[in-house]
């Protein structure tokens, strides 16, 4: 009888310990970190998709609007700069590197906006099937970038919160003490000011 009681107590202790360990949050930090890294890969993938569309767009516009050389050159240079800045998963805790990446992408967005605005002056270009398809793909890619950035921001927020809240803060201060909060995307400078529309 005593043996049965001892075994039952031991089994209950093991079950209790297992339940406590499984709900302690030890796996939360690495799980959330990997989710944020995966979301960052999605962001990079969408930016790369946009960069891949640009040469075709520029060559299509160039055929119709060769006199807009400064705009075309600006797009090519902005694309080159944006694709040179690489931020891998290990750099996500460095806000300066993330900001440099974000700034380069914002410059490319601005250059593309100027290119698309120039197309308004060329009705033949606007009606070109190739240009229309590229413009549509670019618009879709911009939407995908927005979704990927939102998902990344959500994943980073969850990871950063886990580093500061109970019970995961215990693990953040002990087993994962080297982990730093990840950098989020921030609004571009001047984004708080609405654009001026001039007629």
Q: What are the domain boundaries of the chain?
A: 42-148
Taking the C-alpha atoms of residue 103 and residue 82, their distance in angstroms, rounded to an integer, is 8
Q: Please give the pLDDT value at position 19.
A: 55
Q: Please give the pLDDT value at position 25.
A: 75
Cβ pair 92, 37 in contact under 8 A? yes
Does position 198 have pLDDT exceeding 50, yes or no?
no
pTM (two decimals):
0.79
Higher pLDDT, 192 or 11: 11
The 3-state DSSP class for residue 176 equals coil
Burial label for 10, CB within 10 Å (0-12, 13-18, 19+), is exposed
pLDDT tens digits, one per residue of 75-109: 999 999 999 999 998 999 999 999 999 999 999 99
Taking the C-alpha atoms of residue 76 and residue 3, their distance in angstroms, rounded to an integer, is 79
42-148: CATH topology is de novo design (two linked rop proteins) (1.20.1440)
pLDDT tens digits, one per residue of 60-78: 888 888 778 888 899 999 9
Q: Please give the pLDDT value at position 123.
A: 86
Q: Please give the pLDDT value at position 77.
A: 94
């Amino acid at each position: 009888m005593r043996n049965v009681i001892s075994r039952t107590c031991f089994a209950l202790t093991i079950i209790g310990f297992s339940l406590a360990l499984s709900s302690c949050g030890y796996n939360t930090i690495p799980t959330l970190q990997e989710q944020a890294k995966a979301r960052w890969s999605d962001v990079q993938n969408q930016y790369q998709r946009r960069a891949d569309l640009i040469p075709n767009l520029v060559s299509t516009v160039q055929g119709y609007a060769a006199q807009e050389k400064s705009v075309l050159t600006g797009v090519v240079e902005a694309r080159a700069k944006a694709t040179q800045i690489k931020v891998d998963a290990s750099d996500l805790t460095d806000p300066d590197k993330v900001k440099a990446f974000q700034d380069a992408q914002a410059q490319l967005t601005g250059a593309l906006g100027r290119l698309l605005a120039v197309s308004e002056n060329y009705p033949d270009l606007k009606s070109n099937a190739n240009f229309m398809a590229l413009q549509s793909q670019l618009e879709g890619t911009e939407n995908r970038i927005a979704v990927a950035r939102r998902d990344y921001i959500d994943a980073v927020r969850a990871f950063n919160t886990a580093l500061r809240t109970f019970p995961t803060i215990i693990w953040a201060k002990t087993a994962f003490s080297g982990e730093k909060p990840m950098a989020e995307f921030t609004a571009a400078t001047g984004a708080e000011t609405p654009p001026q529309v001039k007629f």
